Structure 1
Amino acid sequence: MTQDQTLKAELAAATSGVAVYDRSAWGRIEVSDADRLSFLHNQSTNDLKHRKPGEGCDTVFLTSTARTIDLATAYVLDESVLLMVSPGMTEKILSFLDRYIFFADKVKLTDITDQTYAFSVFGAKSHTLLAQLGAAEMIGQPYGTHRVFTIAGQAVRVAIGSGLVTEGYTLLAPTPLQSALVEAGATAIDDATWNTLRIRQGRPMPRHELTDTYNPLEAGLWHTISFDKGCYIGQETIARLDAYNGVKQQLWGVRLDKPVTVGDSVKIGEEKVGTVTSVAPSEGGELPEPGKGAIALAYIRTKAGGAGLTVQISDSVGEVVDLPYLTRVAHRASSKPRQG
């Protein structure tokens, strides 16, 4: 099977079937002790103080000037909070959080990445797989909800949400689980396939869309931000941008007739209006010939326009499109978790 055929087969499983993606390379940090919820509440964008055990949400860690560090998922347990952070970001998040633990704070940080494994299952048949594994009661629960089940002879925490907009689940286990999931009917996908999926959906990642150049409003992460919870690191800048419509650039998808390169300029005529941050093979569509085009993520100046805009990138013609992961001012959610 060629690389293109493998990609198509894995993408098909991730949409119409059921796929499993090994996310064990993503960091897992245990935040414990009495002040854990209030501490994380004050260090990230979402409302964590009022979460109960068994609940979870996505949240963003920011610099003091509201530049993005990472998009993380927080699962509230009985005695701790489990943070799942992006690959390669564990040490950076640990260092960031440790800097804000003061003498009187009752907070303990523990890197448990090497002691645990993480897998996401997603696709139209993911619910069937979950029922087969004995966790049918999780089907239809709110985003971030999680509880422990016995799967393949071990205690596995099953959470609602796949890391993408695609319906699915994340499984956190003490030992490898992928073989059991494949035996149950899931198709294993690799990093390249997951990256293609996340670009097609618009999920931003560190070192691409989440950098010290951009803030979470520009990155389309409005659904991860509580606008009424009070102070947190970067909150003043976020509040000011929100109040004065100060978002000067926004993350969009661009459907292209030819492949382009990360870092290429997005232009209207001779004027540069943005920059490409990620590129993946296109699903086809009206603009590119099927299999020959690309889908890119790009930050584009707000004043230039949005969905429907025609742009040029290198020698490729592109159409700016909205993508399902991205949320904006016009349809931002409250601080409640997005259902997925």
Structure 2
Amino acid sequence: MFEALLNRPVNMMLQKLRDSQQTDGAQLEGEPSMVKSFGQDQEAVIAASSGVAICDRTHWGLLELKGADRLSFLHNQSTNDLKALKVGQGCDTVILTSTARTIDLVSAYVTEDSILLLVSPSRREQLLQWFDRYIFFGDKVECCDLTHTLATFSLLGPESQALLEKWGLALPTELHQHQTVTVEDITLRIAVGSGLSTPGYTLLVSYEQAAELWQMCRQAGAVPMGTQAWEQLRVQQGRPSPDAELTEDYNPLEAGLWHAISLDKGCYIGQETIARLNTYNGVKQQLWGIQLEESAEPGASLLLEDRKVGILTSQVQTADGYLGLGYIKTKAGGAGLKVQIGEATGTVVAVPCLTRAIPTSE
């Protein structure tokens, strides 16, 4: 629906959004630029829990699969049951290596003529190459990169629905359901789900109209959020991230991504390993939240009675202290376990984004 904008200069369209955000105090970093902070991270975090915040996720990757075989192709390339989806539906799914190591957790949205894939910022190029490798002669599939065509925003918080309903919208209700709407001449796609466990919506809009949509959300009361506050929420809620929790050292069952896996579908890349792990209770380590007494560096060992039982993968500072994510051996225990990290003590805690099936035996 945004084909006419494909040839517009990327920097010009992005700059219009950045100029608008800088009036809100945006602190930019990287190239292409992303918003690190608006100078009020704690206010944004509070808004996400009790009001509504808007987070710019335009630096995330947005890919599109087109062609008659697109649904079966993605079904065979990832963990969830894509063939069960109808137009207007979506799901989270995981892209794996042949040995079931995690490449990325992606959100898939099925449209009338394509599948849109929202992918992690650091995995866009890798996934473009990955899909290209598995599109064989005769496959009616094409993978396109829409990252510099559509901007991505997340509305987070219990007041997100009320904000959108002010615009007279009849909203989808099920997680990942989505629809295209027009509000004051702005055309956008609204999908249920904020990307975290916090209630909310994901908004896709052309770069050309992104600044106008951003300001509409701000004028309706959404508090601006940058990547720094998003990272705090990500760790607090336990969404695993590439290069931290999602690496080729871990599989998606260990990463708590059971909700993104169908155990009943047919073959896909990595399926044999996943089936074996599930059948034989082979999940030897699991991702947990860890409440820390003081700051610790990701990569630090987690010790139980001087014995290594895991590793810290992420850490943030919150209003209530330091919180991390880390993998812990299943046989060592789970929520409530006390672990040592250097001179500090950490307490293992459950976090809402992670789903798990605890093995009953070794």
Q: Deviations over 1:188-221 (max 9, x none)?
A: 1110100000100000010110000000000000
What is the Cα deviation at residue 146 of structure 1?
0.3
Structure 1: which amino acid aligns with 2:356? R
Which residue does the alignment assign to 2:264?
228
Whole-Å separation in 2 of the counterparts to 1:122 and 1:4: 16
Which residue does the alignment assign to 1:161?
193
Q: 1:303 aligns with which of 331, 334, 352?
A: 331
**Local SS of the residue matching 2:122:** coil
What is the Cα deviation at residue 330 of structure 1?
4.9
What is the Cα deviation at residue 8 of structure 1?
1.9
Maintained 8 Å contact 2:302/2:309: yes
1:268 aligns with 2:296: no
Whole-Å separation in 1 of the counterparts to 2:346 and 2:201: 34
Whole-Å separation in 1 of the counterparts to 2:72 and 2:171: 30
What is the Cα deviation at residue 283 of structure 1?
4.6
Whole-Å separation in 2 of the counterparts to 1:133 and 1:75: 23
Whole-Å separation in 2 of the counterparts to 1:207 and 1:133: 39
Structure 2: which amino acid aligns with 1:278? S
Maintained 8 Å contact 1:10/1:193: yes
**Local SS of the residue matching 1:327:** coil
Structure 2: which amino acid aligns with 1:182? R
In structure 2, the CA distance between the partners of 1:21 and 1:152, relative to structure 1 (3 Å rule), is farther
Maintained 8 Å contact 1:134/1:149: no
Q: What is the TM-score when the length of structure 2 is the normalising length?
A: 0.86
Q: 2:249 aligns with which of 213, 216, 220?
A: 213
Whole-Å separation in 1 of the counterparts to 2:170 and 2:128: 35
Q: Deviations over 1:264-314 (max 9, x none)?
A: 110112111111110012452xxxxxxxx3110000111111111011111
Q: Deviations over 1:106-165 (max 9, x none)?
A: 001100110111100011111111101332433xx1101000111342210000000000
Map 1:75-114 onto structure 2 (within 5 A).
Answer: 75-114=109-148
In structure 2, the CA distance between the partners of 1:104 and 1:25, relative to structure 1 (3 Å rule), is same
Whole-Å separation in 1 of the counterparts to 2:39 and 2:340: 29
Maintained 8 Å contact 2:103/2:248: yes
Runs of 4+ displaced beyond 4 Å: none
Q: Deviations over 1:300-334 (max 9, x none)?
A: 11111111101111121111011100000159xxx
Which residue does the alignment assign to 2:28?
none
What is the Cα deviation at residue 49 of structure 1?
1.1
Structure 2: which amino acid aligns with 1:318? G
RMSD, aligned α-carbons:
1.6
Q: Deviations over 1:21-49 (max 9, x none)?
A: 00111111110000000000000000101
Q: Runs of 5+ in structure 2 lacking a partner?
A: 1-24, 26-36
1:151 aligns with 2:183: yes
1:74 aligns with 2:108: yes
Which residue does the alignment assign to 1:279?
315
